[in-house]
Structure 1
Amino acid sequence: MSTTVQPIDDLCINTIRTLSIDAVQKANSGHPGMPLGAAPMAYVLWTRHLRHNPTNPKWPDRDRFVLSAGHASMLLYSMLFLTGYDLSMDDIKQFRQWGSRTPGHPEYGLVPGAEVTTGPLGQGVGNAVGLAIAERWLAATFNRPGHEVVSHYTYVMASDGDMMEGVAAEAASIAGQFRLGRLIVLYDANQITLSASADVTFSEDVGARFQAYGWQVEHIDGMDIAAVDAALTKAKAVDDRPSLIVARTHIGYGSPHKHDTFEAHGEPLGVEEVRLTKRALGWPEDKSFYIPDEALAQFRRSVEQGRDLDAQWHRRVDGLRAADPQLADKLRLALAGELPKGWDAALPRFTPADGEMATRDAGQKTIVALAEVIPNLVGGSGDLDPSTRTALKGKGDFESPNFTPPEGAPPTQGMVGGPLGYAGRNIHFGIREHAMAAIATGMALHGGVLPYAATFFTFSDYMRPSIRLAALSKARVIYVWTHDSIGLGQDGPTHQPVEQLASLRAIPDLMLLRPADANETVEAWKIAVAHTEGPVGLVFTRQKLPIFDRSALAPAAGTAQGAYVLADCAAGPPKLILIATGSEVSIALEAHNQLTREGVASRVVSMPCWDLFEAQPQSYKDMVLPPGVKARVSVEAGSPLGWERYVGLEGAIIGLNRFGASAPGEIVMRELGFTAEHIVKVAKSILAGNRPG
């Protein structure tokens, strides 16, 4: 298409604008300003550059578009409807209503064509870096000369607010480090935030900052479609750096009284202002949701173009299959999100003869074994591989093949089996936990890779906003969190997680597992790898723990039920149940043995995962925790919040309502009551009918 502005271009742009403001006005809720100002950029991108197939939104080699400024969701919905996605005019008219497919902010899995869930600013930028990383890894892994089966771009539309958020800064820094040349951000620099002009809080030179990150930066007039087209063309040609296009736009464009004001940001224009805006745009004032036939025909060209692009890709895949059937099958498996046959056959098994072992160390042995059979298991840590034990040995580092250290810098250290360029499976996220989590979500939603992200458990606080969105998106991400309790010792309360277990258990659709020994750790990893309905958090110890003798105790396979009877009384029903997780299970076992010697019939329940246990049939739950046994004690070195549901009104909770302390781990545990002796004392008090204060 010619870059010369044609009357059809203005017609299409104004169609986007008026459709968006009509939907916002009908809902009497939403953000009309950005669609009015950013419509020219959206039009140029979606009709001249974006390779997509509206009739197959999941075509694997499509370009990805991320509206990081999710408050402008009607801009995205307008583009999806106009270009032919499975979104009806009825859906547009139901914007922000109960049961609608057009929610207030884009939601992955609900809106066809929404690649990620956005809304909290900065998140989309972080997700987009993950999308771009996944594309580069898949391309480096599966492309062969003459058979380019992975080759697409990730486009982002971001706002001033996105540029202020720390997660976007962290992610942009990583993108520059990795030289992700197929990542292109259109920065809608309208210089307005929700409550003021941006210069009240934000007067930095964003372009200069991104140049310092290693990005290619272009400044344009975002209202000029020829300038937008040229900038996108230039950005696509830059293969060794991500690109930021700083586009000066005008929020509320065409609105006589709200143009370039924050009043256009967070509320409808109003019935009269909508009418006046349409007049200013040369639009019929008395028509709502009006789509000119010529404009719709122009947009719907994307349908046939998309089908052709999709068909061409399938022919390329057929060519790869003819040349290398085994590689093509691996690609098919990866894109389908399936695990290879027999993926769990060679996982380690442990016995007490292996000696005491921290669950992080058992996790290391497990992830190394998994990496050998699951070729698209890709991830890393926030600069903590030696501590989280999550390096994939021999699998190389993910890095740009064009990377060269600055002159005079020491040789690069930390290689895990040598550099493999973008095919490396170890991602060094640096000390950027929030971006790491957002990136992992993007990788998961891209498809083709199974990402994991690791750090100390207390730093999950830095990841939490991204974890929440991963859960909302049901993204298949695995988090590995080590140093899981006060038992880590002398680093002290800043590094000892106390409230994190309770806090993360409160997030819907996040599965959290805290295994008690090495074999439960293996089972936890099996669950995490096979789970496809949302993120999984694996919570591991730094300190060594006993490996349970499974010839005398229940098999670790009970982990899959979330809770199971690990040890029971010799005969008859128990009088007392001890429920514990993680490192405290071995302490509960010691207490059980002491109680047994004293003639008290007790049971130990290991409960590594509340979510899995709650998903079991009531009959199973009643078998593990018989309703008639009221004497119950829970033991967990964390906040007691929530344990009431399992111990009941007549039970007791041994937990922490305070922060930890800096001392050797065993001393901290002892001083704060996590000993067999204290458990026995509390248990006897419960049996005597006294609830500890």
Structure 2
Amino acid sequence: MNINQKAVDALRILSADQIQKANSGHPGLPLGAAPAAYELWANHMNHNPQNPNWSNRDRFILSAGHGSALLYSLLHMFGYEGLTIDELKNFRQLDHLTPGHPEYGHTVGVEATTGPLGAGVSTAVGMAIAESHLAAKFNRDGYPVVDHYTFAMTGDGCLMEGISYEALSLAGTLKLGKLIVLYDSNDITIEGNTETAFKEDVAKRFEAFGFQVQIVEDGNDLKAIGEAIDAAKADLERPSIIICRTQIGYGCPAKVGKASAHGEPLGEENILELRKFLGWESNEAFEVPEEIYSHYDSIAKENAIQEDKWNSMFEKYCTEYPELKEQWDIYHSDIDVENIINSEEYWKHESKAMATRAVSGDLINKLKEIYPNMIGGSADLAPSNKSEMKNEGFFSPENRLGRNIHFGVREMAMTAITNGIYLHGGLKPFCATFFVFSDFMKPMIRLAALMGLPVAYVLTHDSIGVGEDGPTHEPVEQLAMLRSIPNVNVFRPADYTETAVAWASAMGSKSTPTAIVLTRQNLPQIEGSSKDAFKGAYVISEASNKDSIDLILLASGSEVELAVNAKAVLEGEGKSVRVVSVPCMDIFDKQSKEYKEEVLPSNVRARLAVEAGGTMPWFKYVGIDGDVVGMTSFGASAPASVLFKHFGFTTENVVERAKKLMF
């Protein structure tokens, strides 16, 4: 048996051993896809285990994340930091580097958190967009400083999920020639043969997308796999898919080709049979001959040389193009958000009423001058979202320098792609759509929160103010949904200043995504609105007697104006009323106890919250003695002014509900 075959089988054995010891996991993919993974990592992919963050490395995404044992085996064999044999022995155990699905930021060498099928390959599209854009920006003749590929390994499940087709359709349209998908096609899912639910001709579908399509009939044929990868890399006009025909559970006579190989340990006896079938020398779990380790080590050292060559080229590039080196450093470092906070120009605005979506559009066009690496777009709604960066062009096969992206009507894929752009490094991405469509985005926003990606999501048309479009387009429960996701800052600003705070917070964030929720309708600039919004909630209109407050009104977004108007009426009747604007609950909840007590003194139990959304999030502030004017039903189709009145968002109703709390 030659050393390459032994190296492949080491991946199979280690993967099976991990899963068996944990008594949990998915051995089917690692056994079948090990040859493709090995051939790619050993002979076609630039990566340096000694510097996993080398900027010009090829990216690899295991989109079929349930096959994580294969990725951990690769990382271990190539010598990535921390991936010791003991970590493999603690697969799927608490506080170890080998969780059930790969987690970005947790395990060195994992480029993206994958789990929901289709998410990984969609994220890879974003990485390919980033590579293409940065190459156009920085490369010069003889200096390909940005020149790498994005590889994604998928399975049948990934390609059944709609998100993958959304994203890969866009990849074909954009001619992302450095995106290469390896498809582990084994015709098996948990319920059995894929013919029960998945009979389409995948090759023809990808041809229709504009992909180069190759089929490797024998997924164990390293030579054929290698030739296919070379052909894919050579075609820079089309993204590529390599369909590898494999057998799930290959090498395990009792499991091969069966659904039971997918998601359950093989069993001790079957692992012995696997070892026998593969001709493995030892029956001892996790034991790999030294010659195989040496083989992987030699490959890793060759890869380190590739980085050394790049470093030498980059050093000369920096000397010859000092202005580009300066830009490179800006793109690859954080701009101090204090520069924005202290910028008079950033905060400057007219006193006229404006929809916060229009305010956001104004701010985006200010920020693009501060952040030259800002890039983003909308799901076919840029004119409505006000999300276009003026005079920056649109990213396309003809214009890789375009900073705006036409995502098309693909909200979920758009979000994953935006995550991928950030993960690549060097760019500050955002994306935009109507707030009601955050339902489509939510799974990918959740992954961004898990990964700690400071991506901005612009969500306009934020309430029943959408009006005539009716309840299908009027977000009611979405605020509660987004606020329930850990590590997401959800801003619903009331005016220009608060929207500017939301954007500054998003751009300055280090590890938290930000959702900026904006109105369709015009809102006034509110007296008392201030940078205190950075604290998440603050007193926007103080009570006439702050030492004896009768009522606290809390609100966000368009309802802050309503709360201020209701306060005027109540104070005219002799009551002392404080108005608290709450643009971001997530940030306010992290403030000190002293500050929260200062804003919401515990001795004032008469509290009324007002928001044109679901009432659930507000009860932690108003308590059992308080009340919420909110939405407890879906909306309706009518002009916005009619709907706000119909659902009780009027000064009169707020005053009436407030009086019930005080008497």
TM-score (normalizing by structure 1): 0.94
Which of residues 591, 608, 616 is equivalent to 1:641? 616
Task: Give the 3 Å change call, closer, same or farther, for CA 318–340 of structure 1 in structure 2.
Answer: farther
Structure-1 separation of matches of 2:283 and 2:236: 48
Cα deviation, residue 100, structure 1: 1.3
1:556 to 530, 534, 555: 530
- Structure-2 residue corresponding to 1:305: 302
Corresponding residue number in structure 1 for 2:26: 31
Q: Is the 8 A contact 1:31 1:268 kept in 2?
A: yes
How many Å separate the matches in 2 of 1:467 and 1:513?
Answer: 14
Q: Give the one of 670, 678, 681 matched to 2:645.
A: 670
For 1:333, give the aligned amino acid: I
> For residue 132 of structure 2, what is the aligned residue in structure 1?
136
Which whole-Å CA distance do the structure 1 matches of 2:156 and 2:345 have between them? 48
Question: 2:331 matched to which residue of 1?
Answer: 334
Q: Per-residue CA shift, 1:35-83, capped at 9, x if unaligned?
A: 1111111110010011001011111110000000000000000000001
Q: Distance in 2 between matches of 1:341 and 1:305?
A: 43
Between the aligned partners of 1:180 and 1:27, the Cα distance in structure 2 is 39
**Residue of structure 1 aligned with 2:555, choices 573, 580, 594:** 580
Instruction: Report the counterpart of residue 86 of structure 2 in structure 1.
Output: 90
SS for the counterpart of 1:186 is strand
The answer to whether the 8 Å contact 1:347/1:370 transfers is no
1:407-486 map, 5 Å = 421-486=399-464
Q: Deviations over 1:87-110 (max 9, x none)?
A: 111110000011111000000001
How much has 1:457 moved relative to structure 2? 0.1
Looking at structure 1, the residues matched to 633 and 417 of structure 2 have their Cα atoms a distance apart, in angstroms, of 33
**1:204-230 C-alpha deviation (Å, 9 max, x unpaired):** 110110110000000112210000000
Question: Residues 206 and 490 from structure 1, CA distance in 2 versus in 1: closer, same or farther, beyond 3 angstroms?
Answer: same
Is the 2:495–2:524 contact (alpha carbons within 8 Å) kept by the matching residues of 1?
yes
**CA deviation after TM superposition for structure 1 residue 346, in Å:** 5.5
Partner Cα separation in structure 2 for residue 68 and residue 629 of structure 1: 52
For residue 423 of structure 1, give the secondary structure of its aligned residue in structure 2. coil
Kindly indicate whether the alpha-carbon contact (under 8 Å) linking 2:614 and 2:631 is maintained by their aligned counterparts in 1.
Answer: yes
TM-superposed CA distance for 1:676, in Å, is 1.1
Query: What residue identity is the alignment partner of 1:52?
Result: H
Alpha-carbon shift at residue 455 of structure 1 (Å): 0.1
- Moved beyond 3 Å, runs of 4+: 337-344, 346-351
Name the structure 2 match of 1:349: 347
- 1:391 is matched by which residue type in structure 2? E
- Contact kept, 8 Å, 1:348 with 1:365, in 2: the verdict is no
Shift of 1:343: 4.7
- Alpha-carbon distance in 1 for matches of 2:655, 2:643: 19
Letter in 1 for 2:87: D
- Residues of 1 paired with 2:331 and 2:573: CA distance? 56
Query: What does residue 366 of structure 2 align with?
Result: 369
Separation of aligned partners in 2, 1:321 and 1:341 = 28
Equivalent residue number for residue 224 of structure 1? 221
Distance 1:341 1:596, change over 3 A: closer
Is contact 2:431-2:456 (8 Å) kept?
yes
Matched residues in 2 for 1:105 and 1:449: separation? 26
Partner of 1:182: 178
CA contact (8 A) 1:333 1:339 kept: no
**What is the CA distance between 1:339 and its match in structure 2?**
5.1
Match of 1:193 in 2: 189
Deviation at 1:628, TM superposition (A): 0.5
Q: Give the Cα–Cα distance (whole angstroms) in 1 for the partners of residues 530 and 424 of structure 2.
A: 33
Report the TM-score when normalising by structure 2.
0.98
CA contact (8 A) 1:337 1:447 kept: no
Deviations 1:218-249 (A, max 9, x none): 01122100000000000000001100001101
| CA positional deviation for 1:198 | 1.1
- Partner Cα separation in structure 1 for residue 549 and residue 176 of structure 2: 60
Gaps of 5+ in 1: 1-5, 402-420, 689-693
Structure-2 residue corresponding to 1:529: 507
Asked if residue 565 in structure 1 is aligned to residue 539 in structure 2, the reply is yes
Bigger mean CA deviation after superposition, 6-15 or 633-642:
6-15
Measured after TM superposition, the shift of residue 489 of structure 1 is 1.1
Contact 2:337 2:504 in 1 (8 A): no
2: CA distance between counterparts of 1:600 and 1:251? 73
Match in the other structure for 1:3: none
C-alpha distance in structure 2 between counterparts of 1:327 and 1:592, whole Å: 55
2:45 is matched with which residue?
50
**Residues in 2 aligned to 1:323 and 1:98: alpha-carbon distance in whole angstroms:** 50
Aligned to 1:416: none
Are 1:101 and 2:97 matched, yes or no?
yes
Deviations 1:264-297 (A, max 9, x none): 0000001111111111111135211111111111
CA distance in 1, matches of 2:544, 2:109: 59
CA distance in 2, matches of 1:424, 1:337: 22
Q: Distance in 1 between matches of 2:200 and 2:630?
A: 47
Tell me the alpha carbon deviations over residues 480-539 of structure 1, each in whole angstroms, 9 at most, x when there is no partner: 000000012111111100000000100001111000011111111111111111211000
What's the counterpart of residue 235 of structure 1? 232
For residue 314 of structure 2, the aligned residue among 300, 314, 317 is: 317
Structure 2: state its 5+ residue gaps: none
Q: Tell me which moved more, 109-118 or 518-527.
A: 518-527
SS in 1 for 2:225: helix
Code of the residue aligned with 2:12 in structure 1: it is R
What is the Cα deviation at residue 316 of structure 1?
Answer: 2.4
Q: Which moved more, 1:562-571 or 1:173-182?
A: 562-571
- The residue correspondences of 1:282-293 to structure 2 (distance < 5 A) are 282-284=279-281, 286-293=283-290
Structure 1 pair 134–637 and aligned structure 2 pair: CA distance change class (3 A): same
| CA distance in structure 1 between the partners assigned to 2:215 and 2:101 by the alignment | 28
Aligned partner letter, 1:193:
T
- Cα deviations by residue, 1:96-148 (Å, 9 ceiling, x for unpaired): 01111100000000110000000110001100000101111111111122222
CA distance in 2, matches of 1:232, 1:73: 22
How far apart in 2 are the matches of 1:489 and 1:600?
34
Q: Distance in 2 between matches of 1:422 and 1:301?
A: 37
Task: Describe the SS at the equivalent of 1:185.
Answer: strand
Q: Which of these residues, 56, 68, 71, is aligned with residue 73 of structure 1?
A: 68
SS at match of 1:528: helix
Q: What is the one-letter code of the residue matched to 1:38? A: A
Cα–Cα, structure 1 residues 666 and 170, in superposed 2: closer, same or farther, change >3 Å? Answer: same
2: CA distance between counterparts of 1:348 and 1:375?
Answer: 15
Q: CA deviation at 1:340?
A: 8.5
**Structure 2 CA distance for aligned equivalents of residues 686 and 342 of structure 1:** 44
Aligned length: 659
Residues of 1 paired with 2:336 and 2:325: CA distance? 15
- Alignment partner of 2:539: what SS? strand
Q: CA deviation at 1:170?
A: 0.2
Q: Deviations over 1:150-197 (max 9, x none)?
A: 110001110000110000000000000000000000000011111211
Q: Partners in 2 of 1:543 and 1:350 — Cα distance? A: 21
8 Å contact kept, 1:275–1:285: no
- Could you tell me which amino acid in structure 1 is paired with residue 358 of structure 2? D
Aligned counterparts of 1:259 and 1:355: Cα–Cα separation in 2: 70
Aligned to 1:409: none
Distance 1:312 1:26, change over 3 A: same
Per the TM alignment, residue 373 of structure 1 is displaced from its structure 2 partner at its CA by 1.7
Q: 1:333 Cα deviation (Å)?
A: 2.3
Q: 1:190 to 1:347 in 2, by over 3 A?
A: farther
Q: Is residue 539 of structure 1 aligned with residue 513 of structure 2?
A: no
1:404-443 deviation digits (Å, cap 9, x = unpaired): xxxxxxxxxxxxxxxxx11100000000001000101111
Q: Which amino acid aligns with 1:82?
A: M
